[in-house]
Each structure stands twice: as structure tokens, then as C-alpha cells.
Amino acid sequence: MDKLVVEGGRRLEGVIEVSGAKNASLPILAATMLSKESSVIHNVPQVADVFTMVKILKSLGARVEHKGNTVEVDPRGAVNPVLPYKLVSTMRGSICFLGPLLARFGEAKVSFPGGCVIGPRPIDLHVKGIRSLGAEVKVEHGYILAKAKRLRGTRVYLGGAFGSSVLGTANVLMAACLGQGKTVIDNAACEPEVVDLGNFLKAMGARISGLGSPSIEVEGVERLNGATYKIIPDRIEAGTYVIASAMTKGDVTIKNLDLNMLGAMVDKLKDAGVVITQKNGHARVRRQRVLRPVSVTTLPYPGFPTDLQAQMMALMCIVPGISVITEKIYPDRFLHVSELNRMGSNIMLEGNSAIVSGQKRLSAAPVMASDLRASAALVLAGLVADGTTEISRVYHLDRGYEDLVGKLQNLGARIKREKE
């Protein structure tokens, strides 16, 4: 098992380019199963979750060529609509095979997914959506079993206890493309990754309108073609580097980043005093003075992303004053708090809120990553801590960040990967 060793106190400076969006790549790779023709997907990040998706596609019988950041999927030989637990136990994104397999094969057997331990992540909206399309769905022995001779269009409401469901929307959207008649998805997720999936489906010949809004309409078609498509940049990876620049008093330019995808985060950082500008499609992030504390509440898009909550907390730990970070997507997503406190932070939990008393400095300590975004937060804390921080269980980072160490080194960070 590997660990990261981070020497704090280095200012980040330079130019960085983010990889393709992991959270768009996973459902798009699953969507290739809707066709009987090959698809070529470009700008796919080389991260562990993508490698797992490739293994799943191969297990289904598809032929897959994965070279660099390009994945070509030929699904014509696929005959096995079953996803065993062994393959899907490590990531949540595997659930997005449910819709495509059901739509193409008339049946699907998908194990309950794994992924980061960040609190309850129910699949009830997935099941509700698929059932609304006319499928018979039952849960047995840890598997979701779904059958339908032909899915039929309907109106589906996907509101949940914590808002819309990104992967639930993706599953219903993909399944409805091959359904009979029109489907309307109400309270659909508006995230850019859902829009990216929809644009890929449209490139395959799907008839979809309303992407990016809470109401998506899908007119079912008889078949979908293969397509060549390029994944959007990863806004969560980009946001992580934006915060890293702010924390280290840096001056970092992030290439090919549309700040509109990070509007809520950018607004909060500007309130804190971070200087963020955009020119010719690139974003520049500078910190020129002492920052002010700000309070944050995570919400579905276009609200503040839950996937940047831990990183934002790491920033507030070194901003003198009181900030309150409230988690409304995954109320238990605070496993990083105890580790940040080990590094000298002063954070108290009250329900689904973290009260951060910002300090002028953090001190290096051995810490342990608990999930993907918590891992990133600990790296950011290590960049500014006095001394050398060792972060164990960094396999979490490998699931969502392509060459994190190399990219930070290019910006001047002293960070390396070692065997524990």
C-alpha cells in the first residue's frame, strides 16, 4: 500500500491542465452498451474508477481498447447483463449500468455498488425510476434484478430526501432513450456531468431536450448508433487546484476551465478574498492578502458541490475566524474532520454542520484518508502545514485524480509517493 509524503510551505505557481471528468466518464462508458456499434471516447481520465469500468465492460462481453486517455468500446459481442459484486464493490458509479443493460437486453442483474464511505447513499430513486418505465424490479441477495420486454415512456419524479440524484437521473435518462414513447424526468439532476452524458446520447442518435434543467424530455428511439465523443474537463479536480492555489498563496493558471461550472465555489472564494479571473478559456487563481472566513452549505448543482466540501474546509482551517460548513447532500460526510484536527485544526461537529475556528498555521502529522475527496483535503492541508505530512490509504485518491502528484510537483509542491 502506498502513502503520500508532503512537505509543507511551498507556494504553488504555474500552469496546470485538468483531466477529463471522472463523474461524466463513468456513465458515458456505461452508455456505450446501449448501441451495437463501436464508440470512441476521448479525454477519459486515467483513474482507478475508469479502469474498473473497463473491466466491467469486458466482463459483459464488450471488446475494449484503452490507450492513454482514449477508450474504444465495441459492444456487439456483449451477451452477459450481470455485474457481480467483485467488480462493483469499489465504486458507486457501477450502478449506472442498470439502465443501459435493461434497455438493451431486457434484463439486468446488478450488485449493490460500493464506493466511498460517506454515509447512506440509497438506490431507491434508481429503482423507482426504472419501475416507472415499466420494469419489474426486485432486490435479492444483494442484487438488483430488473426485467422488461420493452420500456415505455412516462413521467418520472426523481426527488429524494437530499435533492435530485445524479446517477439516478443518468440511469433513467439512458434507459428511456430506447423506451417506447416520451419520458419526462422531473426534478432531474442539472449537473454538467449529466449534461455531458445527454450530449453523448444525442451524438448516438437519442432525442433529448431540457438538459441542464430540472425537467428533461426523452423521445424513445428504436436504436442508437456508436459515436465519437470528448469528455468535459473535471470541475471537481479543477476546484481542488483552485483551492490549493488559494491555500498556498499561489498564482496558478488552470487551462480549459469554464468557471461557470464552479459558480457557487468561485463566489464563496471571491467573498473570502481570493482573486479569480478568466481569460481565453483559462482561469487564474491568486491570493494576495489575508483571507476572510466564509460559511458554506452544500447543495445540488448549481449549489456548492459536496465533492468540494472537504477541500473548502481545509482552506477555512487556515483562515482566522469562524466559518460554518453545512452538508446537505451527505450529512455524515465528515470523516476528514478528525484527521484535520490531528494537524492542528479546530473543528467541532454539530449535526450536519462543522464549525471551523480558523488557525494561522497547521502542523504536519501522520493522517489517514477515509474517502476520495477527504484524501484531497488532507493533501491540501499538508501543502501548508509546518513539517512533513504522511497520508496513508491514498488508493482513494487514485479513484478520482489523474497524476495528482505529478501535477502538484509541476506547480512547485514537494510531494512524493512512497510504499508504506
Give pLDDT tens digits for 250-267.
Answer: 999 999 899 999 999 999
**96, 116, 177, 317: which is the annotated catalytic residue?**
116
The beta strand positions in 287-380, using DSSP E, are 296-297, 321-326, 347-350, 353-358, 366-368
The backbone torsions φ and ψ at residue 17, rounded to the nearest 5 degrees and listed phi first, read -120, 125
* Helix locations, 94-165, DSSP H: 98-105, 124-132
Instruction: Report the pLDDT value the prediction gives residue 122, as an integer from 0 to 100.
Output: 64
Tell me which H or E stretch contains 392.
strand 388-392
C-alpha of 62 from chain center: 25
* % of the chain with per-residue pLDDT over 90: 84
* % of the chain with per-residue pLDDT over 70: 98
b/e map 186-199, b = 16+ CB within 10 Å: ebbbbbbbbbbbbb
Does 288 score more than 90 pLDDT?
Answer: no
Mean pLDDT along residues 371-384? 95
Instruction: Report the pLDDT value the prediction gives residue 114, as an integer from 0 to 100.
Output: 55
| pLDDT tens for each residue of 12-60 | 999 999 999 999 999 999 999 999 999 999 999 999 999 999 999 999 9
CA nearest to 224, candidates 203, 255, 197: 203
* Averaged pLDDT of the chain: 94
Helix 166-177 × helix 22-31 angle, to 10° = 30
Q: How far apart are CA 3 and CA 365, in angstroms?
A: 13
3-state secondary structure of 405: helix
3-state secondary structure of 419: strand
More confident residue, 86 or 286: 286
Q: How far apart are CA 78 and CA 366, in angstroms?
A: 46
User: Hey, what amino acid is at 291?
Assistant: L
Q: How far apart are CA 93 and CA 84, in angstroms?
A: 14
| pLDDT tens for each residue of 110-167 | 987 754 443 444 688 888 999 999 999 998 888 899 999 899 999 999 987 767 899 9
Domains in the chain (CATH in brackets) are 2-19+233-419 (3.65.10.10), 22-230 (3.65.10.10)
| pLDDT tens for each residue of 80-109 | 898 878 888 777 778 899 999 999 999 999
DSSP 8-class letter at 89: T
Instruction: Give catalytic status of residue 116 as yes or no.
Output: yes
C-alpha cell at 153: 415512456
Cα–Cα distances in angstroms (integers) from residue 176 to residues 147, 201, 405, in the given order: 14, 11, 40
Least confident of 120-124, 175-179, 408-412: 120-124
More confident residue, 188 or 115: 188
Bridge-based pairing state of the strands 136-140 and 143-147: antiparallel
3-state secondary structure of 124: helix
Least confident of 68-82, 120-134, 182-196, 289-303: 120-134
Instruction: Report the pLDDT value the prediction gives residue 123, as an integer from 0 to 100.
Output: 81
C-alpha of 61 from chain center: 26
Does 388 score more than 50 pLDDT?
Answer: yes
